[in-house]
Amino acid sequence: MPDFITNPAVLIPVIAGVLILILLVAGYLKAPPDTAYIISGLGKRRILIGKAGWRVPFFERVDKISLRVMQVDVKTSEAVPTNEFINVSVDGVANVKVSSDPELLLRASEALLGMSRQELISLVTQVLEGNMREIVGSVGLKEMVQDRQGVAKKITENVVPDMQKLGIEVVNFNIQSFRDNAGTIENMGIDNVEQIRKNAQIAKANAQRDIAIATAEAQQQANAIRVEADKKIAEQNADLLVQQAQMKVVADTKKADADAAYSIQQETQRKTIEISRANADIARREKEAELMEKEIALQERKLDAEIRKQADAMKYKAEKEAEADLIRRQRDAEAKKYEAIQEAEAKKAEAEALRFAMEQEAEGIRARGLAEAEAIEKKAEAQKKMGEASILEMYLNALPEVVKGAAAPLAQTDKIVMYGDGNSTRLIKDVMGSANQVVDGLKESTGIDLQALVAGFAGGKLAQPKTEE
C-alpha cells in the first residue's frame, strides 16, 4: 500500500477536499429563465432566475415557482347589475404570471409556494371575477358596450393592488362579450342600426350628387389636360429627337474616345503586365536565389554539425583509445617489469648455478688437464725412451682412422658409377691416394716424414737380427 494512503497528514486533506468537491457538486444549481429557484434555510432567502448558484446541502432547501404566463377565463357566475340596474353577464380573458420583481416574488413565495397550476388559476380567477363585478356595477350599459377597452382598463387598474399582494402580475385583460336577458343591448343595437341606415341613405344621396358634379368637372379638366398633354408630348418628341441626335454625336465621340482610350489602356495594361511579369520573374529568381542561399547555409550548418559531431565522436574515441592504450601499456609495463624481475631472479639463479657448474667444470678440467699433462709427460718420457718406435706405433694406430676418414664420403654415396677397367682397384687406389695426401699434409705441417720413418724402422728391423747374430 502506498505511504500517502496510510499517512494521516496526507489522507485527511485529501478526504476533506473530496467532501468539499462533493458538497459543491451536490449544491450546484442553474435556474432556467422561466422558473424562479427560492433558496431558504440559512439566513435571508435567495432567488435565482436564469443564472447559476449554490446551496448548502442538508441545510438549505430549494423551491421552484413557474414564471410562465397563464391564461385565465373570467366569467361572471351570475348577472351583474350596472349603475342603470340592467343585469348583464360579462365574459373576459386575462393573462397573468408570477412577477419577476424580487419584492413581489418574495410575496408569491409566501402566498403561492406549493400550489399547483390549477389551484393558482382558480385563485386568480376568483380575484379577477370579484374586481370585474365591482367595475361592471359602477358603469352604464352604453359605456360598457361602446368602450370595452376603457372598462377593461378600469378592471385591470382595480385588480392590480390585490394581485400584487399575491405577487402576481397582470399582463393584459380583455372583455370578450356582454349579455343581458332583457334584450336591452339588442334593442340599443336596433335603434343604432336604424339611425345608421338613415344617416347612410342621406350620405348616399349627397354622395351621388357630389359624384355627378365631380364627374362633369373631372371630364372638363380631363379634356383640357389631354390637349395640353398632347401638345407637351409633341414638344417633348421634337426635343427628344434633337437630344437623341446630340446624344448620338456625343456617344460617337465618346465611343471613339473610349476606343482610343481602350487601345491606349490595353497597350498600357500589356506593358504593365509585361513589366509585372518581368518583375515577378525577377522576384521569383531572387526568391529562388534566396531560398538556394538559405538551403546552402542550412546544408553548411548541417554538414558543420555532422562534421563537428563526427569530430567529437572521433575525439572521444581517440581519447578513450588513448586511455585504454595507456592502461594497456601500463599493465604491459607492469607485466614486463614483473617478468624482468622474475627473469632477473631466474638469470641470477641460473648465473649462480652456471658459475658453480663452471667452477666445478674448471676444477674438473684442471684436474683432467693435470692428469693429461702428467700422462703426456709420462708418455713423452716413454716415447723418448722408445724413440722412433713410439712414433711409428702412433702412426700405425692412427692410420686406420685416417683411411676411414678418407673413405667416409664414399660411405654416404648411394651409388657410384665408374667407366673403364679395374673399377674396384681404381676405387681403392683413390682411397689410398687420399690417405697418402693426408700423410703428405702431416709431413708439410709437422715436418715428420712418416714414410721415411716407417722405411727406416723396417730397415732397422731387418738389419737387427744380422747384428745380433
Rg (CA), the chain: 80
The predicted-structure confidence for 288-316, as pLDDT tens digits, reads as follows 888 888 888 888 788 777 777 777 778 78
The pLDDT assigned to 199 comes to 73
Residue 468, pLDDT above cutoff 50: no
CA distance 176 to 135: 15
Q: Tell me, rounded to whole angstroms, the distance of Cα 311 from its chain centroid.
A: 32
Q: What is the pTM of this model?
A: 0.36
Q: Between β-strands 87-98 and 168-179, what pairing exists: parallel, antiparallel or unpaired?
A: antiparallel
The pLDDT assigned to 466 comes to 43
Q: How far is CA 52 from CA 12, 36, 46, 311, in A?
A: 30, 11, 12, 67
Higher pLDDT, 393 or 229: 229
The predicted-structure confidence for 254-292, as pLDDT tens digits, reads as follows 888 777 777 787 778 778 887 878 787 888 888 888 888
On the CB side of 419, CA atoms within 13 Å amount to 0
pLDDT band at 186 (very low <50, low <70, confident <90, very high): low
Most confident of 132-136, 328-332, 346-350: 132-136
Residue 467, pLDDT above cutoff 50: no
The predicted-structure confidence for 193-252, as pLDDT tens digits, reads as follows 566 667 777 877 788 888 888 888 888 888 888 888 888 888 888 888 888 888 888 888
The pLDDT assigned to 95 comes to 92
Q: How large is the average pLDDT for residues 90-107?
A: 88
The pLDDT assigned to 338 comes to 81
Mean pLDDT score of the chain: 76
- Could you list the beta-strand ranges (E) of 24-163: 28-30, 35-40, 46-49, 52-54, 61-66, 70-75, 80-81, 87-98
CA dihedral 104, 105, 110, 115 (to 10 degrees): 120
8 A C-beta contact, residue 112 and residue 146? no
CA distance 48 to 46: 7
Chosen CATH of 68-182 out of 3.30.479.30, 3.40.50.1820, 3.30.67.10, 3.90.1300.10: 3.30.479.30
Neighbours of 38 (CB within 10 A): 20
On the CB side of 255, CA atoms within 13 Å amount to 6
8 A C-beta contact, residue 370 and residue 398? no
Q: With H, G, I as helix, E, B as strand and everything else as coil, classify residue 387.
A: coil
The phi and psi torsions of 88 (rounded to 5 degrees) equal -135, 155
Kindly list the domain boundaries of the chain, sorted by start residue.
3-63, 68-182, 387-468
Residue 439, pLDDT above cutoff 70: no
- Residue type (1 letter), 139: V
The predicted-structure confidence for 30-63, as pLDDT tens digits, reads as follows 888 888 888 888 778 888 888 888 787 878 888 8
